[in-house]
Copies of this chain bind each other. A is one copy, B any other.
Amino acid sequence: MNVLWIFAHPEPRSLGGALRDEGLRTLRAQGANVRESDLYAMKWKAVVDADDFGSAAPSDRLIVGSTSKHAFETGELSDDIRAEHEKLDWADTVIVQFPLWWYGMPAILKGWFDRVFVKGFTYGVRRPDGKTSRYGEGALAGKRAMVLLTAGAPEATVGPRGVNGEIDDLLFPLQHGTLWYAGMSVLPPLTICGADRVSPEQYDDAVATLHGRLRTLSTRDPIPFRSQNGGDYDEHLVLRAELAPGRSGNGVHLL
């Protein structure tokens, strides 16, 4: 197993940092090959701009999608982006670890996806039949991903009727709209709540849970998102009326 561990916490001496260290140790002990993208340690550039695209950047109006595709195809993307592509090509499994900030990713991690998931690589690629490879198909199909999250919020508040919204809904743009969009199979997330307030016993529980999840990385069933081109969506990419009839919300996109 080749695991790429993406870590987006500013403080290695945090609960998140301890879980990252524990996770890397555990995977290596299991015999996995492990590489890391520790975004803060790498001083990862978070913001998409013309500098990403080398001489492929136009001198006039910048259209990010088409410019990034051109730069990808001609090898003119900046070195830091190409290094992440090489890691993604190598990996069969990707762990995406971050503290939940404003119910989403820290900017440095959002910027990793904004800059690395360029057109021509993870989106904007057509199949021979003219359909776009997306949601279950694409360059990253066959790879697995899992989100590992630390959150200050108590568990009940990110549960089904908790005031913050349910964790699967909060993660939908990442798990469905980004990872599954690019073709990856997405394992259920592991969320450790009450960060900065965990007791030694709670920490031991979190580590035990993490061990269990890392042992089953290659066997656990992924979230059963519907594939775009499998027949469940019509020609406008709207879910067919006979599936989850009368319902809406993120849940209709699950088999």
Contacts and interface: CB of A to CB of B under 8 A. Distances in A.
Interface of A: 10-11, 13-14, 40, 46-50, 60-65, 99, 101-108, 110-111, 113-114, 117, 135, 152, 154, 156-157, 159-166, 169-170, 172-174, 176-178, 181, 196, 228, 233, 236-239, 244, 248-253
A164 B152 contact: no
B164 A177 contact: yes
A178 B105 CA distance: 13
A250 to B, nearest CB: 5
Contact of A104 (B40, B104, B160): B104
14 contacts: A10-B48, A10-B50, A10-B64, A11-B63, A46-B47, A104-B110, A105-B110, A107-B110, A160-B248, A162-B236, A163-B239, A163-B253, A165-B253, A250-B250
Name A's interface SS. Answer: loop
Nearest to A173: B103
A46 B46 CA distance: 7
Contacts of A166: 248-250
A71 B192 CA distance: 27
Given A107-B108, A110-B110, A152 B65 contact: yes
A238 to B, nearest CB: 5
A165 B177 contact: yes
Nearest to A244: B161
A101 B215 CA distance: 33
Give the one of A48, A99, A102, A117 with max B CB within 10 A: A102
Nearest to A156: B236
A236 B153 CA distance: 11
A147 B79 CA distance: 34
A197 B253 CA distance: 27
User: Nearest 6 pairs between A and B by C-beta?
Assistant: A107-B111, A103-B177, A103-B173, A160-B248, A161-B239, A163-B237
